[in-house]
């Protein structure tokens, strides 16, 4: 029995020896293979070993900062944090000090209000089957202040990941100039719009790192060398934008946007001596921090449109430069025939025979049609369009610049281009061209980037200098144009009277641009225009040039398109001149000061009708008397209201009220009469009145019904003739009521 047991023991030992021997052989063979090849499962072991023991720490770099010309920050990288929640119970070692979310419902109740989320939404995230969770966009890029508020709650399991985000401290501020940058999935910040996109190669940072051999706990091993790759910070960019002037502009545009609700506002302020853009803004706008964008184009440089009468500045300059302009020469205003087409002044009938200087002041289309057709000649005028660079981009250092089109194929297009119809240009093209007027004939290229600087060395990488891009007119011509444009603002006939600034002499030109209709032709209606003004100040040596355009504002019946435009221009220009310590214009005419924007109409209530009419005429206004009495009872505009040149002032006298002849009037003026007399109104059409149901001179009473029919200027003559024919037909049929 013992022998048998001993025999079995030896047999088992032999089997075990064989198995251990085989295992040793396999391991030894594997060892030899690894030693010879250095590869296991397709991976190089030396590399894996280095990865295990080589420690690497990222050295964060910073994206370049964008500053205004005074060194104020417009865009910068700031610390941000991402909120995370640890859900894995294994992370808690001491139950008294939990390191995971113990109570999801209570945590959600505390955290949700701070993240601007619903409690149920947060609780759903906190009960996921995961070890760690985030809270989407609500929990990313939070500020340090919000982080502190969350930490003060002492919520178990709630922690933070530190990061950086692009921050725009002024929000909706020159946003189409600055643009925005966005962090991508690979954690890189990339410029997506505006200068952030155009200058991305300068602004973009590159993180550095330090690497060393270390143990499994991350401690550096002795007698080992470090490898350091320093971070490469992005370059800093300094703009020509002046934060103070930009603030003046943004505030004024905000007020106008709120009151008039226009479809667009475009404004640019520039230094005509250098071409530096000091302010640029559009509406609608957006906050780069929120990226609530509705329009991805910078309309100041990307929106070509028919400019309207601001284009007359350059037609006038061309005529003066060629020696064919005589401001005292007379012409007959109202209409001018070009082939089968008839060009009309904006009031349809003109002002009789007037001088060309008065034609400029009144913004007469006929005057400029004659200048192009008879004085300059169409070919010579086209040369000046090229000399003012209306056929090419300005080359401003902003992305997305567009260029207008000079329509010069048909005879009528060549003439209408002279007063801003047909041909399209961009606002920045007009600014560049106008620098020649304000800068002694030298046309300056506009730019917004002043310099780019390496933040670590202080080395200037790129610097912009003022650049003359042409001299379309002489210095003498420029001075003469300024002299005439000043009268547009100061003359009793001038369309630019609302743009006067007390203490400073302003030269400029108004514009009322038609808007093409999607169905062909142009939009109709008193609000369906782009109202604009291109002005320079001080006139004797312009230091600032400004263009403002407001598209389709919501106007009251007693307002014109100049109301929202002048509100922006006058406030921004005056504040900017004073901010730059530009002295008021010397020897400014006292009468000009008294006629400046903000002049209020006096009260004529209780005064004699004759006296009131005489005084209003002396002030360049148009009195309209509705009544047979000798004393004024009420008037519109009322005492304290602002008034502009050639505005109708409707005077209601004592005694019986009579209906005036309102044919040819605007609806705005008609509503003055209706309000004073207490009439109910019915309006058909748009434009100017062609017929009225209450005959002129008829006695009216409160509550009477006034029906007026209006027609656009280009159809006004036909409409009047049709109404006259209908009246004649009714008369031939017998007496009518």
**Phi-psi category of residue 233: left, alpha or beta, with phi > 0 → left and psi -120 to 50 → alpha:** beta
In Å, how far are 5, 623, 628, 639, 696 from 655, measured between CA atoms? 146, 18, 6, 22, 17
Contacts of 18 (CB under 8 A, 6+ apart): none
Q: Is the CB of residue 550 less than 8 Å from the CB of residue 531? A: yes
Res 308: pLDDT: 94
Res 355: pLDDT: 94
Q: pLDDT grade, residue 313 (50/70/90)? A: very high
Label each residue of 307-350 as H, E or C: CHHHHHHHHHHHHHHCCCCCCCCEEECCEEEECCEEEECCCCCC
- Residue carrying the six token digits 């070692």: 93
Query: Is the confidence at residue 349, as pLDDT, over 90?
Result: no
Res 46: pLDDT: 45
Q: Which of 539, 541, 486 is nearest to 509 (CA)?
A: 486
Q: Is the CB of residue 315 less than 8 Å from the CB of residue 475? A: no
Tokens for 592? Answer: 């000009």
pLDDT digits (tens, 9 = 90+) for 202-234: 998 876 555 545 555 444 445 555 556 566 788
Worst-scoring range by mean pLDDT, 130-134, 241-245, 684-688? 684-688
Q: pLDDT grade, residue 621 (50/70/90)? A: confident
Q: pLDDT grade, residue 565 (50/70/90)? A: very high
Q: pLDDT grade, residue 591 (50/70/90)? A: very low
Res 721: pLDDT: 54
Res 9: pLDDT: 64
Query: Is the confidence at residue 715, as pLDDT, over 70?
Result: no
Q: Is the CB of residue 103 less than 8 Å from the CB of residue 119? A: no
pLDDT digits (tens, 9 = 90+) for 258-301: 999 999 999 999 999 999 999 999 999 999 998 989 999 999 99
pLDDT digits (tens, 9 = 90+) for 38-54: 455 544 444 444 444 45
Tokens for 123? Answer: 């609780």
Tell me the pTM. 0.73
In Å, how far are 354, 474, 515, 693 from 686, measured between CA atoms? 29, 44, 15, 17
Q: Which of 442, 425, 577, 438 is nearest to 508 (CA)?
A: 438
Res 56: pLDDT: 52
Worst-scoring range by mean pLDDT, 77-86, 183-192, 296-305, 433-442? 183-192
Higher pLDDT, 402 or 34: 402
List residues bridging with 634 in a β-sheet.
Answer: 652
Query: Is the confidence at residue 58, as pLDDT, over 80?
Result: no
Query: Is the confidence at residue 577, as pLDDT, over 80?
Result: yes
Res 627: pLDDT: 86
Q: pLDDT grade, residue 712 (50/70/90)? A: low
> Mean of the pLDDT values across residues 670-693?
84
> Mean of the pLDDT values across residues 97-101?
88
> In terms of DSSP H, where are the helices of 526-586?
562-579
What one-character-per-residue DSSP string does 705-721 give? EEEEEEE-HHHHHHHHH
**How buried is residue 32: exposed, middle or buried, by Cβ count under 10 Å (0-12/13-18/19+)?**
exposed
In Å, how far are 133, 264, 515 from 552, measured between CA atoms? 50, 7, 9
Label each residue of 451-516 as H, E or C: EEECCCCCCEEEECCCCEEECCCCHHHHHHHHHHHHHHHHCCCCCCHHHCECCECCEEEEEEEECE
Worst-scoring range by mean pLDDT, 227-236, 237-246, 606-615? 227-236
> Mean of the pLDDT values across residues 166-181?
93
> Mean of the pLDDT values across residues 157-181?
90
H or E element that contains 415: helix 411-417
pLDDT digits (tens, 9 = 90+) for 186-195: 778 888 999 9
pLDDT digits (tens, 9 = 90+) for 444-502: 999 999 999 999 889 999 999 999 999 999 999 999 999 999 999 999 889 999 999 98
Res 44: pLDDT: 42
Query: Angle, to 10 degrees, between the axis of helix 475-490 and the axis of helix 427-438?
Result: 110
Tokens for 14? Answer: 């032999």
Query: Is the confidence at residue 329, as pLDDT, over 90?
Result: yes
Helix (H, G, I), strand (E, B) or coil at 230: coil
> Mean of the pLDDT values across residues 70-80?
90
Query: Angle, to 10 degrees, between the axis of helix 144-151 and the axis of helix 104-115?
Result: 150
Worst-scoring range by mean pLDDT, 150-164, 450-464, 702-716? 702-716
Q: pLDDT grade, residue 734 (50/70/90)? A: very low
Res 186: pLDDT: 73
Res 36: pLDDT: 53
From the list 309, 571, 585, 666, the catalytic residue is 309
Res 516: pLDDT: 87
Helix (H, G, I), strand (E, B) or coil at 672: helix
Res 720: pLDDT: 53
Res 593: pLDDT: 46
Q: pLDDT grade, residue 14 (50/70/90)? A: low
In the chain, helix, strand, coil percent, each to 5? Answer: 35, 25, 40
Res 222: pLDDT: 56
Rounded Cα distance between 163 and 62, Å, is 11
> Mean of the pLDDT values across residues 244-254?
95
Res 93: pLDDT: 83
- pLDDT above 70 coverage of the chain, percent: 83
Worst-scoring range by mean pLDDT, 57-66, 502-511, 601-610, 721-730? 721-730
Res 8: pLDDT: 60
User: What domains, with CATH codes, occur in the chain?
Assistant: 58-239 (3.90.1310.10), 243-594 (3.40.710.10), 609-732 (3.30.10.20)
Rounded Cα distance between 502 and 372, Å, is 35
Query: Is the confidence at residue 388, as pLDDT, over 60?
Result: yes
Q: pLDDT grade, residue 312 (50/70/90)? A: very high
Res 42: pLDDT: 44
Higher pLDDT, 683 or 311: 311
Query: Is the confidence at residue 396, as pLDDT, over 70?
Result: yes
- pLDDT above 90 coverage of the chain, percent: 54
175 is known as an active-site residue: no
**Average pLDDT across the chain, whole number:** 85
């Amino acid at each position: 029995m013992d022998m048998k047991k001993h025999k079995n023991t030896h047999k088992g030992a032999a089997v075990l020896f064989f198995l251990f021997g085989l295992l040793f052989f396999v391991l030894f063979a594997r060892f030899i293979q690894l030693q010879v090849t250095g590869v296991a499962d397709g991976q190089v072991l030396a590399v894996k070993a280095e990865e295990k023991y080589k420690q690497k720490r990222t050295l964060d770099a910073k994206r370049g900062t964008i500053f205004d010309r005074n060194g104020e920050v417009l865009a910068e990288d700031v610390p941000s944090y991402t909120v995370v929640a640890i859900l894995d119970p294994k992370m808690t070692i001491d139950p008294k000090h939990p390191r995971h979310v113990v109570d999801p419902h209570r945590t959600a109740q505390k955290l949700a209000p701070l993240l601007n989320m619903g409690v149920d939404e947060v609780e759903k995230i906190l009960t996921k089957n995961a070890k760690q969770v985030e809270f989407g966009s609500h929990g990313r890029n939070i500020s340090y202040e919000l982080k502190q508020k969350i930490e003060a709650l002492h919520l178990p399991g709630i922690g933070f990941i530190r990061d950086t985000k692009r921050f725009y401290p002024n929000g909706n501020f020159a946003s189409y100039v600055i643009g925005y940058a966005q962090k991508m999935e690979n954690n890189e910040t990339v410029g997506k719009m505006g200068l952030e996109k155009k200058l991305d190669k300068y602004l973009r940072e590159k993180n550095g790192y330090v690497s060393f051999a270390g143990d499994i706990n991350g401690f550096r091993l002795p007698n080992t060398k470090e490898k350091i790759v320093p971070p490469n910070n992005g370059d800093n960019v300094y703009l020509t934008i002046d934060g103070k002037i930009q603030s003046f502009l943004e505030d004024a545009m905000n007020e106008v946007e709120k009151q008039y609700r226009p479809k667009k506002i475009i404004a640019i302020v520039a230094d005509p001596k250098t071409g530096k853009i000091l302010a640029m803004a559009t509406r609608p706008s957006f906050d780069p921090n929120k990226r609530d964008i509705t329009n991805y184009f910078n309309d100041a440089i990307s929106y070509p449109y028919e400019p309207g009468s601001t284009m007359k500045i350059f037609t006038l300059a061309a005529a003066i430069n060629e020696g064919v302009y005589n401001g005292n020469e007379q012409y007959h205003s109202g209409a001018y025939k070009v082939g089968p087409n008839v060009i009309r002044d904006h009031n349809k009938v003109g002002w009789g025979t007037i001088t060309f200087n008065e034609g400029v002041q009144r913004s007469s289309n006929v005057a400029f049609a004659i200048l192009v057709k008879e004085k300059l000649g169409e070919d010579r005028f086209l040369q000046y369009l090229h000399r003012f660079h209306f056929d090419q981009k300005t080359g401003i250092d902003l992305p997305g610049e567009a260029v207008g089109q000079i329509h010069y194929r048909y005879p009528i297009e060549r003439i209408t281009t002279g007063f801003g119809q047909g041909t399209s240009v961009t606002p920045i093209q007009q600014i560049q061209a106008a620098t020649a007027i304000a800068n002694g004939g030298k046309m300056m290229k506009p730019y917004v980037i002043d310099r780019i600087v390496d933040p670590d060395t202080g080395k200037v990488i790129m610097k912009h200098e003022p650049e003359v891009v042409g001299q379309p007119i002489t210095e003498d011509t420029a001075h003469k144009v300024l002299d005439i444009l000043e009268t547009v603002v100061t003359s009793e006939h001038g369309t630019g009277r609302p743009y006067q600034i007390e203490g400073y002499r302003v030269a400029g030109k108004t514009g009322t641009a038609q808007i093409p209709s999607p169905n062909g032709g142009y939009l109709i209606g008193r609000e369906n225009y782009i109202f604009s003004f291109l002005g320079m100040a001080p006139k004797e040596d312009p230091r600032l040039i400004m263009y403002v355009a407001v598209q389709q504002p919501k106007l009251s019946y007693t307002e014109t398109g100049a109301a929202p435009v002048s509100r922006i221009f006058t406030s921004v220009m005056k504040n900017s001149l004073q901010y730059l310590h530009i002295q008021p214009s010397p020897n400014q005419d006292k009468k000009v000061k008294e006629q400046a924007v903000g002049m209020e109409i006096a009260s004529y209530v209780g005064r004699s009708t004759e006296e009131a009419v005489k005084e209003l005429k002396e002030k360049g206004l148009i009195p309209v008397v509705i009544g047979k009495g000798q004393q004024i009872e009420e008037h519109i505009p009322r005492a304290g209201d602002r008034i502009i040149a050639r505005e109708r002032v409707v005077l209601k006298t004592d005694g019986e009220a009579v209906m005036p002849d309102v044919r040819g009037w605007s609806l705005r003026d008609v509503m003055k009469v209706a309000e004073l007399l207490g009439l109910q109104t019915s309006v058909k059409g748009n434009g100017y009145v062609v017929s009225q149901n209450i005959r002129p001179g008829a006695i009216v009473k409160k509550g009477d019904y006034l029906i007026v029919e209006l027609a656009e200027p280009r159809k006004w003559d036909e409409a009047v003739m049709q109404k006259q024919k209908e009246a004649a037909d009714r008369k031939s049929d017998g007496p009518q009521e």
